[in-house]
Amino acid sequence: MNALEVRGLTKEYPGFRLDGLDLTLPEGCILGLIGENGAGKSTTIKLMLGMLTRDDGTVIVCGQDPAAAPAALREDVGVVMDEAGIPASLTVKQVGKVMRDVFRQWEQETFDQLVQRFGLPEKKPFGEFSKGMKMKLGIAIALSHGARLLLLDEPTGGLDPVAREQVVELLHEFTRNPSHAVLISSHIVSDLEKLCDYIAFLRKGKLVLWEEKDVLLERYGLAHCTEAQFRQLPQNCICQHKRTPYGVELLVYRAQVPAGLPVSPVTIEELFVFMAKEAAE
């Protein structure tokens, strides 16, 4: 079963159009939504939660349309927004009490453990937290009410490398349950590379790519050659190229590359940069 199914999702604002987005997230998987700032990642997540009204298309979250489903559907969805959204005067302890009364399936023990694991001060007002601490609290809430699906909008923004690693570890733990799934948007692609089973690349409201990460890493490779070698290469093996002072750097289709041209593995980050360039052209 799919935790998330999006078909032809369209939303238009002055100066921006999310254009016919199709995405599927199977249960037990993590989908990374990559895109530059303003690509439409947050809009997509808000449409998935019914916080915005879609112009066209269908969205099914945990088997229900969020626009038509009761608010109780959001019991099953843990959300972290790019800005945590907790009132500045509330302490962690107060947040715990509020959420205990908001969520029917609130797990106070899990919340307390996560607060301890993240080293969050219990009595300090939220407004005095650093950005990283705010994110950690948002993540702790999202993981403490028995959610089956996590929608995380830039959750690792503002986190130091150690905290990011903690979050990555937590999300891996979360998806050990085969009925759980995670959609995580970020422009810190290295985090997504560690985490994700699927990668979706959004640019200016258009889905440029949606594929299994391993398929992408198998399909594409990086090659370096001279200008003369580049001119002799068959065009069908070149996905993208960029000229550098040392020659030409190529994103190639591994299967089409002629023997003799050394191809190295590509990272998702390198792929993202090449794809962004291609989409821009």
Interacting residues toward another protein by CB under 8 A: 46, 49, 51-53, 70-75, 77, 79, 81, 83-90, 94, 97-104, 127, 151
Which of 49, 209 has the CB closer to another protein?
49
Phi first, then psi, for residue 95 (nearest 5°) are: -60, -45
Distances (CA, A) of 191 to 33, 114, 119, 185, 257: 11, 20, 21, 10, 29
**Smallest gap from residue 81 Cβ to another protein (A):** 6
**Smallest gap from residue 214 Cβ to another protein (A):** 31
DSSP conformation class of 185: E
Q: Which parts of 155-226 fold into alpha helices (H)?
A: 161-174, 189-195, 213-219
Length of the chain in terms of residues written: 281
Which of 147, 233 has the CB closer to another protein?
147
Which of 29, 84 has the CB closer to another protein?
84
Nearest one of 192, 129, 139, 198 to 163, comparing CA atoms: 139
Cα 259 from Cα 241, distance rounded (Å): 19
- CB distance 101 to 129 below 8 Å: no
Cα 186 from Cα 232, distance rounded (Å): 38
Q: How buried is 79 (Cβ within 10 angstroms: 0-12 exposed, 13-18 middle, 19+ buried)? A: buried
Which of 52, 168 has the CB closer to another protein?
52
Q: What Rg, from alpha-carbon coordinates, does the chain have?
A: 21
Nearest one of 168, 119, 111 to 140, comparing CA atoms: 111
Which of 94, 229 has the CB closer to another protein?
94
**Smallest gap from residue 51 Cβ to another protein (A):** 4
**Smallest gap from residue 196 Cβ to another protein (A):** 22
Nearest one of 66, 69, 61, 79 to 5, comparing CA atoms: 61
**Smallest gap from residue 226 Cβ to another protein (A):** 50
Which of 97, 204 has the CB closer to another protein?
97
Which of 37, 53 has the CB closer to another protein?
53
**Smallest gap from residue 138 Cβ to another protein (A):** 8
Cα 207 from Cα 76, distance rounded (Å): 26
**Smallest gap from residue 73 Cβ to another protein (A):** 8
**Smallest gap from residue 77 Cβ to another protein (A):** 7
Which of 152, 275 has the CB closer to another protein?
152
Nearest one of 247, 180, 249, 205 to 31, comparing CA atoms: 180
